[in-house]
Structure 1
Amino acid sequence: MTTPPHRTPVQGMRRGVLVSGVAGTIVLTIVGAMAKGADGALSALAGSLLAFVVILVGLLAITVIVAGDPAVSMAGAGVVYLGQLILLVGALLVLHGASWLEGDVTAFSAVVATVLLQAGQVTGYVRSRHVLYPQVGRA
Protein backbone atom coordinates (compact mmCIF):
# COMPACT_ATOMS: atom_id res chain seq x y z
CA MET A 1 0.00 0.00 0.00
CA THR A 2 1.39 3.40 -0.92
CA THR A 3 1.04 6.39 1.34
CA PRO A 4 -0.84 9.29 -0.22
CA PRO A 5 1.15 12.50 -0.63
CA HIS A 6 0.46 14.90 2.19
CA ARG A 7 -1.30 18.12 1.43
CA THR A 8 0.46 21.36 2.12
CA PRO A 9 -1.05 24.74 2.93
CA VAL A 10 0.73 26.37 -0.02
CA GLN A 11 -2.24 26.22 -2.38
CA GLY A 12 -4.45 28.09 0.08
CA MET A 13 -1.67 30.55 0.83
CA ARG A 14 -1.17 31.19 -2.88
CA ARG A 15 -4.89 31.82 -3.34
CA GLY A 16 -4.95 34.25 -0.39
CA VAL A 17 -1.91 36.13 -1.72
CA LEU A 18 -3.34 36.39 -5.24
CA VAL A 19 -6.74 37.66 -4.08
CA SER A 20 -5.35 40.17 -1.59
CA GLY A 21 -2.57 41.20 -3.98
CA VAL A 22 -4.80 41.94 -6.94
CA ALA A 23 -7.42 43.71 -4.84
CA GLY A 24 -4.81 45.66 -2.88
CA THR A 25 -2.95 46.73 -6.02
CA ILE A 26 -6.14 48.05 -7.61
CA VAL A 27 -7.29 49.91 -4.48
CA LEU A 28 -3.84 51.35 -3.71
CA THR A 29 -3.41 52.55 -7.29
CA ILE A 30 -6.77 54.32 -7.13
CA VAL A 31 -5.86 55.89 -3.77
CA GLY A 32 -2.51 57.01 -5.18
CA ALA A 33 -4.26 58.57 -8.17
CA MET A 34 -6.68 60.41 -5.91
CA ALA A 35 -3.88 61.67 -3.68
CA LYS A 36 -1.23 62.73 -6.22
CA GLY A 37 -2.67 62.27 -9.71
CA ALA A 38 -0.97 60.20 -12.39
CA ASP A 39 2.42 60.24 -10.64
CA GLY A 40 0.77 59.03 -7.45
CA ALA A 41 -0.99 56.23 -9.31
CA LEU A 42 2.27 55.11 -10.91
CA SER A 43 4.07 55.29 -7.57
CA ALA A 44 1.35 53.36 -5.75
CA LEU A 45 1.31 50.77 -8.52
CA ALA A 46 5.10 50.40 -8.31
CA GLY A 47 5.07 50.00 -4.53
CA SER A 48 2.23 47.52 -4.42
CA LEU A 49 3.58 45.45 -7.32
CA LEU A 50 7.00 45.41 -5.70
CA ALA A 51 5.49 43.97 -2.52
CA PHE A 52 3.38 41.56 -4.56
CA VAL A 53 6.41 40.17 -6.42
CA VAL A 54 8.52 39.87 -3.25
CA ILE A 55 5.76 37.98 -1.42
CA LEU A 56 5.15 35.68 -4.41
CA VAL A 57 8.86 34.86 -4.67
CA GLY A 58 8.87 34.13 -0.94
CA LEU A 59 5.87 31.86 -1.42
CA LEU A 60 7.84 29.90 -4.01
CA ALA A 61 10.63 29.50 -1.43
CA ILE A 62 8.08 28.34 1.15
CA THR A 63 6.86 25.74 -1.36
CA VAL A 64 10.36 24.27 -1.47
CA ILE A 65 10.71 24.39 2.33
CA VAL A 66 7.36 22.71 3.01
CA ALA A 67 8.28 19.90 0.62
CA GLY A 68 11.25 19.08 2.86
CA ASP A 69 11.48 17.99 6.49
CA PRO A 70 8.33 19.04 8.42
CA ALA A 71 10.39 19.63 11.57
CA VAL A 72 12.13 22.65 10.04
CA SER A 73 9.28 24.09 7.98
CA MET A 74 8.23 26.81 10.44
CA ALA A 75 11.81 27.91 11.04
CA GLY A 76 12.40 27.97 7.28
CA ALA A 77 9.23 30.00 6.75
CA GLY A 78 10.47 32.48 9.35
CA VAL A 79 13.76 32.86 7.50
CA VAL A 80 11.88 33.39 4.24
CA TYR A 81 9.69 36.05 5.87
CA LEU A 82 12.73 37.90 7.22
CA GLY A 83 14.36 37.67 3.79
CA GLN A 84 11.23 39.10 2.18
CA LEU A 85 11.26 42.09 4.50
CA ILE A 86 14.97 42.73 3.91
CA LEU A 87 14.51 42.48 0.14
CA LEU A 88 11.51 44.80 0.21
CA VAL A 89 13.26 47.45 2.32
CA GLY A 90 16.35 47.22 0.11
CA ALA A 91 14.29 47.66 -3.05
CA LEU A 92 12.48 50.64 -1.52
CA LEU A 93 15.81 52.23 -0.61
CA VAL A 94 17.01 51.78 -4.19
CA LEU A 95 13.78 53.29 -5.57
CA HIS A 96 13.82 56.13 -3.03
CA GLY A 97 15.88 58.39 -5.25
CA ALA A 98 13.96 57.70 -8.47
CA SER A 99 12.75 60.99 -9.91
CA TRP A 100 9.80 59.36 -11.64
CA LEU A 101 8.26 58.12 -8.36
CA GLU A 102 6.64 59.87 -5.44
CA GLY A 103 8.73 58.30 -2.66
CA ASP A 104 6.16 58.67 0.11
CA VAL A 105 3.37 57.17 -1.97
CA THR A 106 5.57 54.28 -3.11
CA ALA A 107 6.66 53.46 0.44
CA PHE A 108 3.14 53.78 1.85
CA SER A 109 1.75 51.57 -0.91
CA ALA A 110 4.45 48.94 -0.39
CA VAL A 111 3.88 48.82 3.37
CA VAL A 112 0.09 48.60 3.09
CA ALA A 113 0.35 46.00 0.32
CA THR A 114 2.77 43.94 2.42
CA VAL A 115 0.34 43.92 5.34
CA LEU A 116 -2.54 42.98 3.03
CA LEU A 117 -0.50 40.24 1.37
CA GLN A 118 0.60 38.79 4.70
CA ALA A 119 -3.01 38.83 5.90
CA GLY A 120 -4.04 37.01 2.73
CA GLN A 121 -1.23 34.51 3.17
CA VAL A 122 -2.13 33.81 6.80
CA THR A 123 -5.83 33.56 5.94
CA GLY A 124 -4.99 31.09 3.18
CA TYR A 125 -2.86 29.07 5.59
CA VAL A 126 -5.57 28.96 8.26
CA ARG A 127 -8.31 28.06 5.79
CA SER A 128 -6.33 25.40 3.93
CA ARG A 129 -6.83 21.76 4.69
CA HIS A 130 -3.49 20.16 5.38
CA VAL A 131 -1.94 17.51 7.55
CA LEU A 132 -0.38 18.95 10.68
CA TYR A 133 1.93 16.01 11.38
CA PRO A 134 2.58 14.21 8.08
CA GLN A 135 5.18 11.90 9.61
CA VAL A 136 2.64 10.33 12.01
CA GLY A 137 1.46 6.96 10.74
CA ARG A 138 4.50 6.32 8.61
CA ALA A 139 6.67 3.45 9.61
Structure 2
Amino acid sequence: MALFFSVATLAGAFGGILARGIAEMNGVGGRSAWAWIFILEGVLSKLVSMSAYWFIYDYPATARFLTEKERDEVQRGLTADNGHLGNNDFNMKYVWQAIGDWKIYVHMVIRMAGFCLIYSFSLFLPTII
Protein backbone atom coordinates (compact mmCIF):
# COMPACT_ATOMS: atom_id res chain seq x y z
CA MET A 1 0.00 0.00 0.00
CA ALA A 2 2.85 2.37 0.81
CA LEU A 3 4.41 1.75 -2.59
CA PHE A 4 1.06 2.30 -4.31
CA PHE A 5 0.45 5.65 -2.60
CA SER A 6 4.06 6.74 -3.11
CA VAL A 7 3.90 6.04 -6.83
CA ALA A 8 0.54 7.83 -7.07
CA THR A 9 2.11 10.87 -5.41
CA LEU A 10 5.08 10.77 -7.77
CA ALA A 11 2.75 10.46 -10.75
CA GLY A 12 0.89 13.54 -9.58
CA ALA A 13 4.14 15.42 -9.05
CA PHE A 14 5.70 14.64 -12.43
CA GLY A 15 2.57 14.18 -14.54
CA GLY A 16 2.27 17.87 -15.29
CA ILE A 17 5.91 18.18 -16.29
CA LEU A 18 5.64 15.14 -18.53
CA ALA A 19 2.42 16.43 -20.09
CA ARG A 20 4.10 19.78 -20.80
CA GLY A 21 7.02 18.01 -22.46
CA ILE A 22 4.73 15.89 -24.60
CA ALA A 23 2.71 18.98 -25.54
CA GLU A 24 5.92 20.45 -26.98
CA MET A 25 6.17 17.42 -29.29
CA ASN A 26 3.27 18.72 -31.39
CA GLY A 27 4.22 18.20 -35.04
CA VAL A 28 7.18 15.90 -34.33
CA GLY A 29 7.12 13.08 -36.86
CA GLY A 30 3.99 14.58 -38.40
CA ARG A 31 1.90 13.65 -35.36
CA SER A 32 -0.14 15.72 -32.92
CA ALA A 33 0.84 15.98 -29.27
CA TRP A 34 -2.16 13.90 -28.17
CA ALA A 35 -1.00 11.06 -30.44
CA TRP A 36 2.43 11.12 -28.81
CA ILE A 37 0.82 10.54 -25.41
CA PHE A 38 -0.63 7.24 -26.63
CA ILE A 39 2.56 6.26 -28.45
CA LEU A 40 4.86 6.91 -25.48
CA GLU A 41 2.56 5.32 -22.92
CA GLY A 42 2.01 2.33 -25.20
CA VAL A 43 5.76 1.82 -25.75
CA LEU A 44 6.40 2.06 -22.01
CA SER A 45 3.59 -0.41 -21.26
CA LYS A 46 4.97 -2.87 -23.81
CA LEU A 47 8.50 -2.60 -22.38
CA VAL A 48 7.29 -3.17 -18.82
CA SER A 49 5.09 -6.10 -19.82
CA MET A 50 7.87 -7.79 -21.80
CA SER A 51 10.41 -7.34 -19.00
CA ALA A 52 7.92 -8.70 -16.44
CA TYR A 53 8.46 -12.20 -17.85
CA TRP A 54 11.98 -12.18 -16.42
CA PHE A 55 11.34 -10.22 -13.23
CA ILE A 56 8.13 -11.74 -11.85
CA TYR A 57 8.21 -15.30 -10.59
CA ASP A 58 5.08 -17.41 -10.52
CA TYR A 59 5.86 -19.28 -7.30
CA PRO A 60 8.62 -19.43 -4.65
CA ALA A 61 9.81 -22.78 -6.01
CA THR A 62 10.88 -21.09 -9.25
CA ALA A 63 12.35 -17.90 -7.75
CA ARG A 64 16.09 -18.07 -8.43
CA PHE A 65 16.93 -15.22 -6.04
CA LEU A 66 15.79 -17.21 -2.98
CA THR A 67 18.09 -19.53 -1.10
CA GLU A 68 16.82 -22.97 -0.17
CA LYS A 69 16.23 -21.84 3.43
CA GLU A 70 14.32 -18.74 2.29
CA ARG A 71 12.28 -20.83 -0.15
CA ASP A 72 11.27 -23.20 2.64
CA GLU A 73 10.32 -20.26 4.88
CA VAL A 74 8.16 -18.67 2.19
CA GLN A 75 6.47 -22.03 1.53
CA ARG A 76 5.82 -22.46 5.26
CA GLY A 77 4.34 -18.96 5.44
CA LEU A 78 2.09 -19.58 2.44
CA THR A 79 0.87 -22.82 3.97
CA ALA A 80 0.18 -21.12 7.32
CA ASP A 81 -1.64 -18.22 5.64
CA ASN A 82 -3.73 -20.60 3.59
CA GLY A 83 -5.17 -22.13 6.74
CA HIS A 84 -7.67 -24.91 6.19
CA LEU A 85 -8.55 -23.71 2.69
CA GLY A 86 -6.32 -25.02 -0.06
CA ASN A 87 -6.31 -23.98 -3.69
CA ASN A 88 -8.65 -26.85 -4.50
CA ASP A 89 -10.98 -26.35 -1.53
CA PHE A 90 -13.11 -23.58 -3.04
CA ASN A 91 -16.76 -23.80 -2.08
CA MET A 92 -19.49 -21.41 -3.19
CA LYS A 93 -20.93 -21.39 0.33
CA TYR A 94 -18.06 -19.11 1.41
CA VAL A 95 -19.00 -16.60 -1.29
CA TRP A 96 -22.61 -16.57 -0.11
CA GLN A 97 -21.46 -16.18 3.50
CA ALA A 98 -19.43 -13.12 2.50
CA ILE A 99 -22.31 -11.62 0.51
CA GLY A 100 -24.63 -12.06 3.49
CA ASP A 101 -22.20 -10.63 6.06
CA TRP A 102 -23.09 -7.07 7.09
CA LYS A 103 -19.48 -6.35 8.04
CA ILE A 104 -18.44 -6.58 4.38
CA TYR A 105 -20.79 -3.74 3.46
CA VAL A 106 -19.74 -1.57 6.41
CA HIS A 107 -16.11 -2.08 5.48
CA MET A 108 -16.92 -1.21 1.86
CA VAL A 109 -18.56 2.08 2.89
CA ILE A 110 -15.65 2.98 5.18
CA ARG A 111 -13.07 2.27 2.47
CA MET A 112 -15.02 4.17 -0.20
CA ALA A 113 -15.40 7.19 2.09
CA GLY A 114 -11.66 7.25 2.70
CA PHE A 115 -10.61 6.62 -0.87
CA CYS A 116 -12.97 9.21 -2.33
CA LEU A 117 -11.35 11.88 -0.16
CA ILE A 118 -7.79 10.74 -0.78
CA TYR A 119 -8.13 10.47 -4.54
CA SER A 120 -10.20 13.59 -5.02
CA PHE A 121 -7.43 15.58 -3.36
CA SER A 122 -4.48 13.78 -4.94
CA LEU A 123 -5.89 13.68 -8.47
CA PHE A 124 -7.90 16.88 -8.81
CA LEU A 125 -6.30 19.37 -6.41
CA PRO A 126 -3.32 20.07 -8.71
CA THR A 127 -5.72 20.78 -11.57
CA ILE A 128 -7.89 23.05 -9.41
CA ILE A 129 -4.88 24.97 -8.11
Check whether TM > 0.5: no
Name the TM-score, length of structure 1 as normaliser: 0.28
Give 1 or 2 for the bigger CA radius of gyration: 2
Name the TM-score, length of structure 2 as normaliser: 0.30
**Higher RCO (C-alpha 8 Å, min separation 6):** 1
